[in-house]
Amino acid sequence: MRFFIVDDDEAIRSMLSEIIEDNDLGEVVGEADNGASVDAPLLAMKRVDILLIDLLMPLRDGIETVQAIQPAFAGRIVMLSQVENKEMIASAYQLGIHYYITKPINRIEVLSILKNVLEHVRLQKTIRSIEQNLFALTTGQTASPHAAPSCKRSTLRSAGQFLLAELGMIGESGGKDLLDILEFLFQHQEAHPLDYEFPALKDMFSHVAMKRLQLSDAEHSEVKKECKALEQRIRRAIFQGLNHLTCLGVTDYSNPKFEEYAPKFFDFSQVRKSMQTLQTEDKLSISDTHINSKKFIKVLFLEAQKR
């Protein structure tokens, strides 16, 4: 599941992220320190399933933010607050907030509530899958569960090549690895049209490695060696993409490519850190850069599907 956290307290955001990731509840795809930084298009772009939002924040509080994103946002909403005013809590529930977590944060309470939310989201997806099957049976047409349009494998690879060129990565050895992974993701999605879950990095790397080496055993020593090499090539390629976009942003913050791709493929905090490094005339170092390969691959796949 995909979480987005909005809270003006960085320590709270960090604690919630840790609870989510340490307990394998899903991944945190974005954070904000104020409701004014959040809108429905942002949540849609990040495909957020569950929004955790603080009630009291400067500029725009949780109630106002929830009002602003509805009815466009269809995910689940969990409110966080120290305030225990019954009327305020009732107002929050009337707006469509599904759960309420009191501060100070209690890990056991948070874990219990988020597990309940996840169960409801999964049930909702199951019902949607059943409805799609019924639709297919009664009309003879397949209702796609994905917002992105379907595309042929060759079209997807071409779109991937275009995006890598836009990101300044097309000449990197890891570029071919990323294109091969796009093909694997296309096949995986076609094979699981109604219950598609994005594969783990290990599965992506293993599939591409086994196909290249023409081996069927993921535990084979040569496969493991190729997976490691593939991972490093992809990290270097993604780092090159970050470096390319950062250079564009430092030169011209309103550069169209920078504005379009930087916030999609990379965390804002990392882009800002990289820009600050370049502005001090230092060179970016891959060892000092956080590379989120899975996020990059996800965005690349989704963007390639749209083209």
pLDDT (tens digit per residue) in 86-112: 666 666 666 667 688 888 888 998 998
Lowest mean pLDDT among 122-131, 168-177, 215-224: 122-131
* Least confident span in 118-122, 259-263, 287-291: 118-122
Number of helices (H) and strands (E) in the chain: give both, helices first: 12, 5
Query: For the domain 2-121, what is the CATH superfamily, name and number?
Result: Response regulator (3.40.50.2300)
pLDDT score, position 145: 44
Which tens digits make up the pLDDT trace of 221-274?
899 999 999 999 999 999 999 999 999 888 887 888 888 888 889 888 888 888
Write out the two tokens for 102: 């009191």
More confident residue, 255 or 136: 255
pLDDT at 250: 86
pLDDT at residue 141 tops 60: no
Peptide bond into 71 cis (omega under 30): yes
Convert 17-45 to b/e letters by CB count within 10 Å (16 or more is b). Answer: bebbeeeebbbbbbbbbbbbbbeeebbee
Q: Where are the domains of the chain?
A: 2-121, 153-306
Most confident of 112-121, 137-146, 192-201: 112-121
Residue 41: which pLDDT band, with cuts at 50, 70 and 90?
A: confident
Check whether 290 has a pLDDT greater than 50.
Answer: yes
Share of the chain above pLDDT 90, in %: 26
Chain mean pLDDT for the chain: 83
Sequential DSSP letters for 218-243: TT-HHHHHHHHHHHHHHHHHHHHHHH
Residue with tokens 């933010």: 65
What average pLDDT does this structure show over 209-228? 88
pLDDT higher than 80, residue 131: no
Higher pLDDT, 275 or 148: 275
Q: How confident is the model at residue 156 (pLDDT cuts 50, 70, 90)?
A: confident
pLDDT value at 17 more than 60: yes
pLDDT at 68 over 80: yes
Taking the chain, what is the end-to-end CA distance rounded to the nearest angstrom?
Answer: 25
Cα–Cα distance for residue pair 56/51, rounded to 1 Å: 15
Contacts of 52 by beta carbon, 8 Å cutoff, 6+ apart: 3, 4, 5, 6, 7, 16, 78, 80, 101
The percentage of residues in the chain with a pLDDT greater than 70, rounded to a whole number, is: 85
> What is the pLDDT, as a whole number, of residue 93?
66
